[in-house]
Amino acid sequence: MIRHLLSGADLDADTATEILDTAAEMATVAGREIKKLPALRGRTVVNLFYEDSTRTRISFEAAAKRLSADVINFSAKGSSVTKGESLKDTALTLQAMGADAVVVRHPASGAPHRLANWVDGSVVNAGDGTHEHPTQALLDAYTMRARLGRLAGLSVAVVGDVLHSRVARSNVLLLSTLGAKVTLVGPPTLIPVDITAALAPGTDVSYDLDSVLPNADVVMMLRVQRERMNDSYFPSAREYARRYGLDGPRMRRLPEHAIVMHPGPMNRGMEITPEVADSPRSTIVEQVTNGVSVRMAVLYLLLGGNNR
Amino acid sequence: MTAYLITSVSVVGAAPTDLLIRDGVVAEVGPGLSAPDATVIDGTGLVALPGLVDLHTHLREPGREDAETVESGSRAAALGGYTAVCAMANTSPVADTAGVVEQVWRLGREAALVDVQPIGAVTVGLAGERLAELGAMADSAARVRIFSDDGHCVADPKLMRRALEYVKAFDGIIAQHAEEPRLTEGAQMHEGEVSTRLGLIGWPAVAEEAIIARDVLLAEHVGSRLHVCHVSTAGSVEVLRHAKARGVRVTAEVTPHHLLLTDERAETYDPVFKVNPPLRTAADITALRAALADGVIDVIATDHAPHAVEDKECEWAYARPGMLGLETALSIALDVLGPEWDLIAERMSRAPARIAGLPGHGVDPAPGVPANLTLIDPAARRTIEPAELASRSRNTPYARMTLPGRIVATFLRGEPTVLDGKAVK
C-alpha cells in the first residue's frame, strides 16, 4: 500500500480497486446497530483544516471514529504567511504529538505534498487549492460502480469549472486509471490549457453540453461560483446556466440508465436545477454516505490496518 | 600594492601566456614574463576572462539584511567571478531617491569586493504611478544610468513612454520587467501542461511577449534605449529579433536558470524553483540558447534573488519568487554553452559592462587596462552545497547538482578578491 494519498495519480488500478472493495466491506458496518470497528484503536488521526469544509471534515471524522481511531480536529484558518504558525511548524507539532495520519485541507495547491516532507505519518489530501481531492474521486468512483456495476468503459461527462476544480483533476486521473472515458465540458475559459496532455491522454474536451449528454453514462456537475463572472470567465450566471446548467429537459436527453452526480455544495439554479438534483438519477446523497465508507477504507489501508 | 604574475594562462581561450598585474592594471601580457617582486599564480589549465559583470542582482540591503547584505552579496559575486554587479532597486526603502542609491553605492565601496552599481527605481515606491527623481539619481554619487522597477512591470504605457523619453537627457536606459500584470494575477508558474496538472495558476508566455512588443515599439517611437530583463520565452526572442532587425535600440538578458531548468521542476512543489518570470519549457530553453548564441539576447544576467528560509520553506503559493545565481552563473554558462570563451566573455562581461556604462569593466586583459579579471578552472567539477555558499541565503536551485568549472581567483583593480577559490575577506 502507498504511504500517502496526495493525488489520484498515486493510485494504480489494483490499489484503487482494493480501496473500493475495502470500502464496500466498510459500508456493511454502517448498516449495523453499532457502527464501529476496532481496526485503528490507539492510532491518532489529525484533521488539519486550513479551509472551512464541514462536510469533508465530518466525513473524515466519522470514518476515523468508526475505525476507533483517536481523532484530533485542528482548524487552522488563515494563511501561514499572514498570521500564525507556518505549515512546517504545525507539521513538526503534529509529528511531536505522534499523529499516525494527517488529513489536510488547504487553500494552497501542493500543501499536502510539502507536509508529507515534514511528518512521518501518512498524509491524506482532503483537497488542496485548485489541485486535487483524491478521496472525492474515490467516492465518486465507488458511487458509479455501485449504481452502474462497473467503471471500465463508462462514459463520464465532467461539466463546469474544470479550471478551478480539484474534484475534476482527481476524477480524470482516477477514472482514466480505472478504464472510464472522461469528457470535460465547459466554456473554453474554464477548461485549463493542455488538460488532456497534463492528466490523461484519452480525455476529451467539449464546449457543447447538449452533444455530450446522449452518450453519457454519468454526468458529474461541478460547483461554479457566481463570482467567476466578475472575472470574465462567463458573462452572467443566467448565460452560464443556459449553456452549461443541467435542467430537466437536458436530463431527459441522457440515456435511461445514466446518473447525475455533484460533489456538493450545490448552487441550485446555477449548474443544476432542483428538479435534477432531487430526481431518482441523482446520486448526491449517496455520494455523502459513500464518502464515509471510502475514507474508512483509505485510512484503514494507509495505516496498515490490513497487516495486523 | 602587491604585484601578481599569472603564468601559462589562457586569456579568453587563446594559447597560454603570462599576465603581470601591477598597480591596479594589467602591466604586461606575453610568454616568459618575470617579476621577482610579484606573487606567482600558476595559471596552467586556467582561463582568464575579463571580470564578469551582472546587470541584475538583488542585494536586499537596505531592508532584508537577513537574506543578503551588500557585503555578503558582493562576496558571493566575487566568488562567482564578478567584478561588478548592478543592484536592483526593490529594497526597503525602495532605491527611488538619490539618498538610497548613494547608500547602496557607499556600502559597495566599503565592502570593496566588487563594484556595486545601483539601479534606480523608475517609479516612486515601484508603484507604477509617477516617475521617481531619475535625474537626481543620475546626478548623485552613484551615477545611476539604469532604471528599473524590477519585480514589477512599468505597465502603464504612458508612464513607460515618458520614462524612456526622460532618461535620454543623461543617456539612461530603462530595464523593463516585462509582465502584463492583468494577465498574471495570482500566477504561480508557467501556464501550460504542468500548471494544469499541479493546479497552480498559470503565468502565460504572452504576458511577457505583449509587454516586450509594446516596449520595443515605444522605444523606437521615442528613440530611447530599452533593456529587457530576464527574457524567458521563445516568443519573446522572436519579438526581439524583429525589433533588432528594425534597428530598435533594445538589449536583452537571460538568466542562467532560464537556460537550464524547466517548469517540470515545480512538480515537487518545492518553492526553491519558484521564480518570476517562471521556469518555462524545453522549447523555450532551446530558443533562448539559440538567441544567446546569435546575439538576439546580449547578456546572461543572474537575477540573483536571495530569500530567507521562512520565505521558501512553505507552501508554493506563499513563497517569494527568486533564486540565487551569482556563485553558479559561470558554471551554468559553461554547461550550456561549452568552452566558448569569447562568447562567454561577451555575454557575461563585455556586453553588460557596455550596457551599464561601467568604464574599466568588460575589457579583455591587455597591457594598460584595469586589472578586473577572473581565473577559471574549466576542468574542475563541483557539487553545489547550499550551506557552503557565501550568500546569506540558501535558495539555490542547483543544490547537490554537479556543475563544470570553478572560479580560482578574481581581481578587482589589481587586488585579489578571491584566491585559491576563497574570498580574501
**CATH number of the structural domain spanning residue A173:** 3.40.50.1370
**Nearest residue of chain A to residue B271 (CA atoms):** A114
Residues B308 and B391 reside in one and the same domain: no
B264 in contact with A at a CB cutoff of 8 Å? no
| pLDDT surpasses 90 at A76 | no
Q: Are residues B413 and B328 in the same domain?
A: no
| Interface membership of A80 toward B (CB under 8 Å) | yes
CATH number at residue B397: 2.30.40.10
Residue A67: pLDDT band with limits 50, 70, 90? very high
Q: Tell me, what's the pLDDT at B416?
A: 98
Contacts 24+ apart (CB under 8 A), A8-15: A8/A132, A8/A134, A8/A137, A8/A169, A8/A170, A8/A171, A8/A172, A8/A173, A8/A174, A8/A177, A9/A173, A10/A134, A11/A134, A11/A138, A11/A174, A11/A177, A12/A177, A13/A177, A13/A178, A13/A179
Indicate if the pLDDT at residue A123 is higher than 80: yes
Domain count, chain A: 2
Kindly state whether B141 is in contact with chain A, defined as any CB-CB distance less than 8 angstroms: no
Q: Is residue A155 part of a domain?
A: yes
- Inform me whether the pLDDT recorded for B274 exceeds 50: yes
Least confident of A79-93, A212-226, B259-273, B354-368: A79-93
C-alpha cell at B248: 530598435
Do residue A263 and residue A139 come from a single domain? Answer: yes
Is residue B259 situated within a structural domain?
A: yes
**Residue A87 sits in which domain range?**
8-131+288-307
For B100, the 3-state DSSP assignment is helix
Closest partner residue to A110 (CB to CB) among B196, B201, B269 is B269
pLDDT band at B423 (very low <50, low <70, confident <90, very high): very high
Q: Which of B304, B335, B356 corresponds to the end of one domain? A: B356
C-alpha closest to that of B154 among B188, B131, B184, B134:
B131
A307 pLDDT tier (thresholds 50, 70, 90): low
- The complex's ipTM works out to 0.94
Q: Which residues of B touch A193 (CB under 8 A)?
A: 191-193, 195-196, 202
pLDDT tens figures, A186-216: 999 999 999 999 999 999 999 999 999 999 9
Unique residue bearing C-alpha cell 460547483: A223
Q: Is the pLDDT of residue A81 over 70?
A: no
Mean pLDDT taken over chain B: 98
Same domain, A83 and A41: yes
The predicted pLDDT at position B157 comes to 98
B298 and B263 belong to one structural domain: yes
pLDDT for B1 equals 75
**CB–CB of B194 and A198 under 8 A?**
yes
Write out the three cell numbers for B178: 516585462
- Judge if A142 and A280 occupy the same domain: yes
| B202 touches A at CB < 8 Å | yes
Write down the pLDDT at residue A85: 82
Same domain, B292 and B179: yes
CB contact under 8 A, A80 and B314: yes
Query: Is residue A79 scored above 50 in pLDDT?
Result: no
What is the pLDDT at residue A252?
Answer: 96
Is there a domain that residue A2 lies in?
A: no
pLDDT digits (tens, 9 = 90+) for B247-258: 999 999 999 999
Residues of B designated catalytic: 303
Query: Mean pLDDT, chain A, as a whole number?
Result: 93
Q: Are residues B339 and B295 in the same domain?
A: yes
A275 burial via Cβ count (<10 Å: 0-12, 13-18, 19+) = middle
pLDDT digits (tens, 9 = 90+) for B155-214: 999 999 999 999 999 999 999 999 999 999 999 999 999 999 999 999 999 999 999 999
Using CB atoms, which residue from B191, B310, B316 is nearest to A109?
B316
Q: Mark whether B284 and B340 lie in a shared domain.
A: yes
Dump pLDDT digits (tens) for B207-238: 999 999 999 999 999 999 999 999 999 999 99
pLDDT at B309 over 90: yes
B376 shares a domain with B317: no
What would the pLDDT profile of B90-141 be if each residue is shown by its tens digit? 999 999 999 999 999 999 999 999 999 999 999 999 999 999 999 999 999 9
With a pLDDT cut of 90, the percent of chain B lying above it is 100
Any domain includes A1: no
Whether residues A178 and A115 fall in one domain? no
Q: For residue B55, what is the enclosing H or E element?
A: strand B52-57
User: Region B318-340: what's the mean pLDDT?
Assistant: 98
Q: List CB contacts (< 8 A) between B316 and chain A.
A: 108-110, 114
Give the other-Cβ count within 10 Å of B295's Cβ: 14
Whether residues B266 and B373 fall in one domain: no
Number of domains in chain B: 2
A3 within a domain of the structure (yes/no): no
**Alpha carbons B209 and B207: distance in angstroms, whole number:** 6
Give the CA distances from residue B223 to residues A98, A141, A297, B236, in Å, rounded to whole numbers and listed in that order. Answer: 67, 63, 69, 21
The 3-class SS string of chain A reads: CCCCECCHHHCCHHHHHHHHHHHHHHHHHHCCCCCCCCCCCCCEEEEEECCCCHHHHHHHHHHHHHCCCEEEEEECCCCCCCCCCCHHHHHHHHHHHCCCEEEEEECCCCHHHHHHHHCCCEEEEEEECCCECHHHHHHHHHHHHHHHCCCCCCEEEEECCCCCCHHHHHHHHHHHHCCCEEEEECCHHHCCCCHHHHHCCCCEEECCHHHHHHHCCEEEECCCCHHHHHHCCCCCHHHHHHHHCECHHHHCCCCCCCEEECCCCCCECCCECHHHHCCCCECHHHHHHHHHHHHHHHHHHHCCHHHC
Give yes or no: residues B300 and B185 share one domain: yes
Instruction: Determine contact: A205 vs chain B, CB below 8 A.
Output: no
User: Whole domain around residue B265: which residue ranges?
Assistant: 54-356
The whole-angstrom distance between A235's CA and the closest CA on chain B is: 18
CB contact under 8 A, A108 and B192: no
**Domain endpoint, select from B332, B356, B380:** B356
